Each structure stands twice: as C-alpha cells, then as structure tokens.
Amino acid sequence: MPSTPQRDLSAPTIVIGAGPHGLAAAALLNRSGEPTVILERSYGVGASWAQRYDHLRLHTTPGTSKLPGLPMPRQAGPWVSRDDYVRYLERYVAHHRLDVRVTTPVQRIERAEPGSGAQWLVHTPVGPVPTGAVVVATGRCHTPNLPRWPGRSTFTGTLLHSAHYRSPAPYRERDVLVVGAGNSGTEIASVLAGGGAGRVWIAVRTPPNILPRSSARWHAAGRLTEALPLAWRDRTSLLTQRLAVPDLTSRGLPRPRTGLYTRNAREGVNPVLDHGFVDAVRSGRVEPVAAVQAFEGPEVVLADGTRLRPDTVIAATGYRPNLHDLVGSLGVLDEAGHPLATGARTHPEAPRLYLTGFTNPLTGVLRQAGIEARAIARAFRHEKARATLPAPRLGDRPADALDKGRTSS
C-alpha cells in the first residue's frame, strides 16, 4: 500500500502523479539505479481511474494496457474493468516497491538557486523539496473541461461533467442530454438508454469516427501503418467504417468526412469504439442532435435553433492538463497550455524536467506510458554515462587527428 506523507520527501528524482505514466516512469528509473519518490495529490494510486463511472472498461486489450515489468492478470478478461485496473496499479506499486506519498499535492515547480546542489524545487504543503530531476505525470485528463456556454448559470435543470457521472440509476425516467460524441459520451448515452432513462439525446459537433468494439486491435494496425502516408491511412479507415458500421445519416448522425488519423493528428481525438451506441441510435433510443449553443432557463438552445428541455445535461466535453500553476512560469508550455516537449525530450530552458502522459496516440495511451518511461530511463542512463566520462586530454586524441594538426615542414 502507498505510504502516508512524511516530511522528508527528498530524492534524486521526484515523480508527480501516481497514475500509469508516473508509476511506469518510477519503476524503470528505480530499476536503472535512480531512486524516486512519487508524490500523489489524492488518497491512492490510480485515483483518476477510480473516480470514473462504474461501467467503465478499458478500450485497449490487456496486452496493450500493461505497464513495464508486470503483466495484466488473465482473470481481468479481454476488456479490463475500472476496478480491476485500479487493483492492477496497486499491485504494480507493491511489485516494484515504489515509494508513493499520497495526499501530497505539488503546488508548483521552480528552478533551484545556482550552486545549491539541486536542479529544481518542488513546492508541497510541507515545504519545498530540492531535487535533481522531476518527472511530471499529472496527465492530460487532469481537470474536467466544462465549456462556458452562454446562460449556463440560468439552467434550472442539473448540469454536470461526465467526471461526476457514476451510473444510470439516478436518471431513470429522466430526460438526459449528453454533450460530446467521444468514447465517454457515446458510452454514457447508450448505457443511459438501456438503463431506464426517459429520452436520451447526444449533442454532436463533429460526427465521430466509429469502429466496432471488436476492432480494438486497430491499435496494432496503427503501429503497422505508421510509416504510410496519412492520406492513404485515412482513406483505408473511412472504407473500414463504411463496411463495418451502418449509415446513421437518417438518424441524424452523418458519416465523418475526415479520417481518424487526421483527426488524431490535428485534435488528439481517437475513434469511438462501439459499446452499443450504434444500435441505440438505430433503434431511436439515443437521438443525435446539433451542438449546444446556449442555455436559457429550463431550455438548451442548439446550433440549429432547436430547443430541448432535459432534466439533466451531462457534459462529456473532455479534460485539460491544467499545468499553468505547476510549470507555467518555466516557459515549457504553448499558448494552449500543452507541453512543448514530452516524453524523453526536455525543453532547452528546463533540463531534467520531463513531462509524460500528455499525448493521445492511436497506438494506445497505456502502451505509450511504457514507451515514454523506457525513453526517460534511457535518457537518465545516457546522462549518467556522459557525466562519468573523463574529460578529453590532448594526448587522448587519435593519431590521425594529431597528424591533421601538424604543419608540413
């Protein structure tokens, strides 16, 4: 079990965040002989997973969901549940003997004073912690993103982000509008429709790329086709969708015009894996509608002028990394607040500050945790090897180099 907070948090490397990326990075750094302490703001590891809705299952297979050094248990099945994945992360901590300090939020990171012997100061409620390196693994899904719709505060129904939705039980016989047609939004809408809700609408801004759930192994296809031209991969993906997914245009959900590879490259969006959503739309149990434009008292105004009166609006509108307070003063973020360098790459102005878990690759987020952790551990090893090399001396130069330096007589 993770340890409780202690005043002495110092270590050569501080890892911030006890989710998959933080745990994988800490495990491989420890294995390389680089002791780490993991600081976690919540009460336990994988807290952001534990707080998601009850019926959540991973969209990746066990082989692409495991972290380095520990396989996923077979009893977890082909589609790992939320609770099974949290238990796996807890076993991962015990297996690798990771030092996790829970309920220890990090307030900000700043550069240490030159000559202090540290590279960074990590500020926590118990004081600043000097350290030689920091791995920020707070993740791209750190803070729920609730759009500032006009009139939002006037809505007389219930408005919540999908981060606070747990199960369909409270919504029986109630009309619900789900906003957002990503994996969370489509899954929540279809489960609500099958769980006794009244009318269920889903507000769609851009038609999603939908694939059958059985095609989750498209992650492997994504890896195999990475070297092919983007346009070719897009055409192939759109053809696959035409063959595998019925046309829902008559139900208000037209086919997408943009291929899933381009959408991922431009927006960081992954395709929707169908968990019953297509059948729910075909049967009319879920009704696609236009994007939300505003709220007016009990009504939701849509982009096409339609007005709905839902009892509840569930905004499946994504998350923000929310890194400004943590590293915003260091010059490592772009204008949108996203890291300028991730994985083993560091910003030139911030050496030994690594940010991992801030991409959404088609090849799988959890697989990416292992890839970035290995790369960060390699970067540490290379840095250590360079530091132990003796300084070159004139006599160490190769003979041919010495010859080139001579003048002819």
Extents of the domains making up the chain? 13-142+321-387, 145-318
Average pLDDT over residues 341-363: 94
Residue in this structure with the two tokens 């009244």, named with its chain if needed = 198
Q: Is the pLDDT of residue 86 over 90?
A: yes
Q: Is the pLDDT of residue 222 over 70?
A: no
Q: Is the pLDDT of residue 395 over 50?
A: no
Q: State percent of the chain over pLDDT 90.
A: 72
Q: What is the pLDDT of residue 7?
A: 46
What is the secondary structure of 232-246 as a DSSP string?
Answer: HHHHHHHHHHHHHS-
Q: What is the pLDDT of residue 258?
A: 92
Is there a common fold for 13-142+321-387 and 145-318? yes
Residue in this structure with the two tokens 């029986």, named with its chain if needed = 172
Q: Is the pLDDT of residue 314 over 80?
A: yes
Look up the CATH superfamily of 145-318. FAD/NAD(P)-binding domain (3.50.50.60)
Q: State percent of the chain over pLDDT 70.
A: 89
What is the secondary structure of 260-295 as a DSSP string?
Answer: HHHHHHHH-PPPEEESSHHHHHHTTSEEEEPPEEEE
Cβ contacts of 199 within 8 Å, gap of 6 or more: 175, 176, 287, 310
Measure Cα distances from 362 to 71, 85, 103, 261, 399 in Å.
21, 20, 33, 8, 51
Lowest-confidence pick of 92-96, 222-226, 312-316: 222-226
Q: Is the pLDDT of residue 2 over 90?
A: no
Q: What is the pLDDT of residue 78?
A: 87
* Yes or no: domain 13-142+321-387 corresponds to CATH 3.40.50.12280: no
Strands 133-136, 312-315: parallel, antiparallel or unpaired by DSSP? unpaired
What percent of the chain is helix, strand and coil (3-state, nearest 5)?
35, 20, 45
Helices and strands (H and E) in the chain: how many: 12, 20
Q: pLDDT tens digit string along 97-136?
A: 999 999 999 999 999 998 888 899 999 999 999 999 999 9
**What's the predicted TM-score (pTM) here?**
0.88
**Cβ 93 vs Cβ 77: under 8 Å:** no
